[in-house]
Amino acid sequence: MAQKELDCRGLACPEPVVRTRKLIETFRPAELNVTVDNAPACENVSRFLTRNGYSVSSAVVDDGLWVVTGKDTGASSVNEDDADFSACRPAAVGRTLVLITTQTLGRGDDALGEKLMGNFLASLPELGSSLWRVVLLNGGVKLSAKEGSALDSLKKLSESGVGVFVCGTCLDHYGLMEKKQVGETTNMLDIVTSLSLADKVIRP
């Protein structure tokens, strides 16, 4: 299949990934170039292509404009996440997803709220093997970039095999793309899919 060009300028998350997925499903090109105009889209498209059997490179071609190039390696088009999404699993195992949308836990005193959030994250391992993913949205993404007990706990969770997903649009909004220290930068499509697959969602 000849090289394909995909222009995703002006498209908000998760549309660049959605269109890239549709292109691959329809044509499975040997090589494709995806043009985007924001850093989260560049990272999300790159990650998606890598997981779907493409070797990936990206380049800044203009101020605020990226071209992501993917070359088919011949690997299976079903990536780990796709297999994960379709797998039949025993109901007894279950999957617990924790959705965090703020930097603090509760309302009233922010200093207390930050401490409580740190304690909450440190206690998540008590959920055992059912703990599947932690998703950080909106103000919650700040936890992935700010030194402290919350960040330490997130790193330990990630190291133990728990998926830590951090909203790329939110990181970009807060100017934290380069400061994130833990987790995978992700998009709303991944987040919505994760929520739909979870057997239980905890939102503190």
Residue 12: pLDDT band (50, 70, 90) is confident
Helices (H), 92-167: 110-123, 149-159
Residue 197: pLDDT band (50, 70, 90) is very high
Per-residue pLDDT reduced to its tens digit, 108-125: 999 999 999 999 999 999
Task: Find out whether 105 and 117 touch, Cβ atoms under 8 Å.
Answer: yes
Residue 160: pLDDT band (50, 70, 90) is very high
pLDDT at position 74 is 85
pLDDT at position 76 is 57
State the DSSP code for 53. Answer: T
Domain boundaries, the chain: 4-73, 90-202
Residue 200: pLDDT band (50, 70, 90) is very high
Half-sphere exposure of 5 (CA within 13 A, CB side): 3
Kind and range of the H or E element at 6?
Answer: strand 4-7
Per-residue pLDDT reduced to its tens digit, 47-98: 999 999 999 999 999 888 999 999 999 875 544 444 333 333 333 458 999 9
Amino acid sitting at position 166: V
Fold equal for 4-73 and 90-202: no
User: What percent of the chain is predicted at pLDDT more than 90?
Assistant: 82
- Please determine, for residue 27, whether its predicted confidence score (pLDDT) is greater than 70: yes
What's the whole-model pTM score? 0.77
Q: Topology of domain 90-202, per CATH? A: Hypothetical Protein Ychn; Chain: A, (3.40.1260)
- Please determine, for residue 175, whether its predicted confidence score (pLDDT) is greater than 90: yes
Mean pLDDT of 173-189: 96
User: In terms of C-beta density within 10 A (0-12 exposed, 13-18 middle, 19 or more buried), how is residue 45 classed?
Assistant: buried
User: What percent of the chain is predicted at pLDDT more than 70?
Assistant: 91
Q: Considering the domain 4-73 in this protein, what is its CATH number?
A: 3.30.110.40
